[in-house]
Amino acid sequence: MNNEASVILKQKIGQLILNLMEESTLAFLKEHSQIIDEYLQTSFETSLVGPSMDLAKDPYAFIALGGYGRQEQCVYSDVDLLFLFKNNVPDEAERLIREIVYPLWDIGLDVGYAARSIKECLSLAGKDFEVLTSLLDARFICGMSHLYSDLMQQLREKIIKKNRKKILDRLVESSNERHIRFGDSTYRLEPNLKEGQGGLRDYHTILWLARIEFKLKQPRDLEYYGQISHEEFKDLTEALSFIWNVRNRLHFLTRRKCDQLHFENQIMIAKKFKFKKVNGQQPVETFLGRLHSRMDFVKQQHLMFLYEFGYTTRKKPRKLPEKQSNVKGVAVIRDTLNYTSSEEIVSSPDLLLSIFEESLRLKIPLSAEAKRMVKEFGYLVDTGYRTLPSNVKTFERILLTPAPTFNVLKEMLGTGFLVRFIPEFKRIVNRIQYDEYHLYPVDKHLLRTVQILKNFATGDDADNTNDPLCADLYKGLKRKKLLLWAALLHDIGKG
């Protein structure tokens, strides 16, 4: 029976993938997961081994883990299964696994499984971080449902509640280590769609943190708990949908699980998405620009979420120093800058710019809500605002001030303020130059150029730019402002 069921499963998956290639859809991930669910449910009901096991004495259930648990089943994603038993794993479990899993291997699915009791799951979750995160994504498929409920309740009571701070620290530490290893995907021309900064794992980290802190049941609850706005959830869903569609097509193209978007695949995927040549940009450049913008949004949401939890890029939660804002209408709350009210912005639009200068002075970021307000009231930055001498001077002070570890220009770009203040920036945001010389999107290349020049003044060599001759020449300049303006605008014409 299982061989027949697995053949049907293979046919259903094949048809689903063909439909996906014709029309990209977020529904594919859930439908792919549901098809596998159906196979497992049918296998449970028709099992020849199951009746020989004492279900009353030692009940069991099939549990989905990891990406399969989240119902994010891409074309060649792993299928992670847990055969969960109440008391002990019986000898017959091996026969049950052969009956269920082997047919899936035969049709080419990459299935990973474990057979454990509730007690064993809890013990491993307390020792192994990967086991814990996989259980955070656990989803009941079939069998005795109360086992799943018992497992999740005991996981929260015995593991999460007792080790909450330790687990949160480890999640953030793991995220930082991953970013160091795979790099910032929003800056790379061959981004890692899953593990790089701005990739899908950043989104998963948000979910894990929220499940620990708020008992999050589904992604939509991020909005319910006030962690993101309705508009942000909508934009996040759109960004993730695009990244997942790219990942699915990469899987299909390479005929394997693959997350690194190498050059040799980019042109073909751009063609599959039917990108056209626009404003002098090749289809592949337009495609990569779209991808970078979506990954940058995921990155910014991840960073804001961490900061709201009390974390910076360090492993441990930050200690909250007592800092005070010198700007009326701007206050320091939980070590982030906030507007005291939206009315203050309407009556004093210069606050849209002043908050960034204050951020640079205090070396603390804008809160998530402040960033939302900068976006919402961006319409106030008109021609009169841009040409007002006091605003130009404020911007130039930001441009000139050394900032070895805190790049306010990035914040201005991320909130859309920089594009409002210098409209010519709009055409170069996430603009890709598809050649062997340019490693970064044009907008980020310009900000990086400014940062490298300013590093000469501080001696910071995070980018290996601490050249004594360059530092001496820079420090000897009497009109650094002109050089930094030139650095900020030197490629603006590429838009």
Question: What single string gives the DSSP state of each residue in 339-373?
Answer: ES-HHHHHH-TTHHHHHHHHHHHHT-PBPHHHHHH
User: What pLDDT score was predicted for residue 319?
Assistant: 54
Cβ atoms 191, 295 nearer than 8 A? yes
**Host domain of residue 343:** 320-395
339 membership: H or E segment, kind and range: strand 336-339
User: What pLDDT score was predicted for residue 399?
Assistant: 94
Considering the domain architecture, whether residues 184 and 146 belong to the same structural domain is answered as no
Residue ranges for the chain with pLDDT beneath 70: 1-2, 23-25, 312-322, 404-405, 435-439, 459-466
Considering the domain architecture, whether residues 114 and 58 belong to the same structural domain is answered as yes
CATH number at residue 121: 3.30.460.10
Instruction: Report the C-alpha gap between 299 and 134 in whole angstroms.
Output: 22
Instruction: Report the C-alpha gap between 297 and 295 in whole angstroms.
Output: 5
Residue 258 lies in a domain: yes
Query: What SS3 state is found at 97?
Result: helix
Instruction: Report the C-alpha gap between 444 and 113 in whole angstroms.
Output: 43
Give the pLDDT confidence of 17-55 residue by residue, as tens digits.
988 877 666 789 999 999 999 999 999 999 999 888 878
Bridging pattern class, strands 60-65 and 139-143: antiparallel
Instruction: Report the C-alpha gap between 293 and 443 in whole angstroms.
Output: 11
Residue 28 lies in a domain: yes
CATH number at residue 276: 1.20.120.330
C-alpha pair distances (Å), 237 with each of 228, 231, 275, 294, 295: 12, 10, 21, 10, 12
The neighbouring-strand residues paired with 83 are 62, 115
Q: At a CB cut-off of 8 Å and minimum separation 6, what does 473 contact?
A: 456
Instruction: Report the C-alpha gap between 325 and 194 in whole angstroms.
Output: 38
User: What pLDDT score was predicted for residue 434?
Assistant: 73
Two structure tokens written together for 366: 């804008």
Instruction: Report the C-alpha gap between 152 and 149 in whole angstroms.
Output: 5
Residue 411 lies in a domain: no
Considering the domain architecture, whether residues 242 and 357 belong to the same structural domain is answered as no
Comparing C-alpha atoms, which of 204, 197, 231 is closest to residue 219? 204
Comparing C-alpha atoms, which of 327, 314, 393, 318 is closest to residue 359? 327
Q: Which of 329, 360, 395 is the last residue of a domain?
A: 395
- The pTM assigned to this predicted structure is 0.86
Considering the domain architecture, whether residues 74 and 198 belong to the same structural domain is answered as no
Residue 400 lies in a domain: no
Considering the domain architecture, whether residues 285 and 359 belong to the same structural domain is answered as no
Instruction: Report the C-alpha gap between 373 and 285 in whole angstroms.
Output: 31
Q: Which of 128, 160, 192 is the last residue of a domain?
A: 160
Give the pLDDT confidence of 137-192 residue by residue, as tens digits.
999 999 999 999 999 999 999 999 999 999 999 999 999 999 999 999 888 889 99
Two structure tokens written together for 399: 């441009």
Residue 404 lies in a domain: no
DSSP string, 31-88: HHHHHHHHHHHHHHHH-SSGGGS-TTTS-EEEEEEHHHHTT---TT--EEEEEEESS-
Considering the domain architecture, whether residues 132 and 191 belong to the same structural domain is answered as no
> What is the phi/psi pair of residue 23, to 5°?
-150, 110
- Number of Cβ atoms within 10 Å of the Cβ of 378: 15
Cβ atoms 110, 78 nearer than 8 A? yes
Considering the domain architecture, whether residues 41 and 189 belong to the same structural domain is answered as no
Comparing C-alpha atoms, which of 187, 206, 184 is closest to residue 195? 184
Instruction: Report the C-alpha gap between 181 and 468 in whole angstroms.
Output: 30
Q: Which of 142, 160, 178 is the last residue of a domain?
A: 160
Cβ atoms 356, 395 nearer than 8 A? no
User: What pLDDT score was predicted for residue 315?
Assistant: 46
Considering the domain architecture, whether residues 96 and 226 belong to the same structural domain is answered as no
User: What pLDDT score was predicted for residue 314?
Assistant: 47
Cβ burial, residue 22 (10 Å; 0-12/13-18/19+): exposed
DSSP 255: T
Considering the domain architecture, whether residues 34 and 68 belong to the same structural domain is answered as yes
Considering the domain architecture, whether residues 153 and 173 belong to the same structural domain is answered as no
Give the pLDDT confidence of 56-108 residue by residue, as tens digits.
888 999 999 999 999 999 999 999 999 999 999 999 999 999 999 999 999 99
Instruction: Report the C-alpha gap between 373 and 395 in whole angstroms.
Output: 19
Residue 369 lies in a domain: yes
The amino acid sitting at 74 is C
Cβ atoms 105, 36 nearer than 8 A? no
DSSP string, 104-138: HHHTT--EEEEEEEHHHHHHHHHH-HHHHHHHHT-
C-alpha pair distances (Å), 310 with each of 168, 170, 306, 313: 10, 14, 6, 10
How many domains does the structure of the chain reveal?
A: 4
Residue 407 lies in a domain: no
Considering the domain architecture, whether residues 342 and 199 belong to the same structural domain is answered as no
Residue 403 lies in a domain: no
Query: What SS3 state is found at 260?
Result: strand
Considering the domain architecture, whether residues 113 and 67 belong to the same structural domain is answered as yes
